[in-house]
Amino acid sequence: MTLSIALLGVEAEQLKGHLDGLVLSVIAGEPKHGYAVIEALKTRSQGRLDLPEGTVYPALHRLERNGLLASKWSQSGRRRRVYRLTTKGERELGMRRRRWRDFATTVEAVLA
């Protein structure tokens, strides 16, 4: 089953290969629970990424199983699962950022 992504202003196909990088990026700043990850994606894209909210959770679980994220139940306040980047996740995010910048520079050079 493919991830269905409803978008405002961004083509779904354009986003498909980038969801992991986007999720890693919003968690990189500080550890977040699922709801906060989705809110951060909306806020940082200025509302242009409007993901069906539930679809982010399977990606979080997969990224954790692949060792890019770690999670634990929060100790203070409400019981919620908080995700943080692992060292492997930081490396992966750095690589994805470099690749994206190379790609964007290349496309920009041709389009411009």
Partner 1 sequence: MTDSTQYLTELDADLARAGIHGARRKRIIAEFADHLRCDPDADLGDPVALAAQFADELGTSVARTAAFRAFLALALAGVLVAVRLVALLPLQAVTFGTRDTVALLIAAVAGQVAFVAGGLGLLRALQLRGRGAIPRQEAAILARRAGVGLAAGAVTLVAFPITQSYQAQSGAVAIGSHPTNLWWPLASALGLAALALAATAVVRAARLRPQASGRAGDLLADLGPLRPALARISGGSVNRLALALGAGLTIVVALTGIAAGDPYDGILRGLLEGGAFLGAYAVLGRYLGIRR
Contact footprint for partner 1 (CB under 8 A): 1-4, 33-35, 38, 52-55, 57-59, 61-62, 65-66, 78-81
Q: What is the CA radius of gyration of the chain?
A: 15
CA within 13 Å, CB half, 99? 9
Point out which residues pair with 72 in neighbouring strands: 82
CB of 68 to partner 1, least distance (A): 11
The nearer residue to partner 1, 35 or 100, going by C-beta atoms, is 35
CB of 22 to partner 1, least distance (A): 15
Question: Phi then psi for 46, rounded to 5 degrees?
Answer: 55, 40
Nearest alpha-carbon partner for 17 in 83, 98, 96: 96
CB of 49 to partner 1, least distance (A): 15
The nearer residue to partner 1, 58 or 112, going by C-beta atoms, is 58
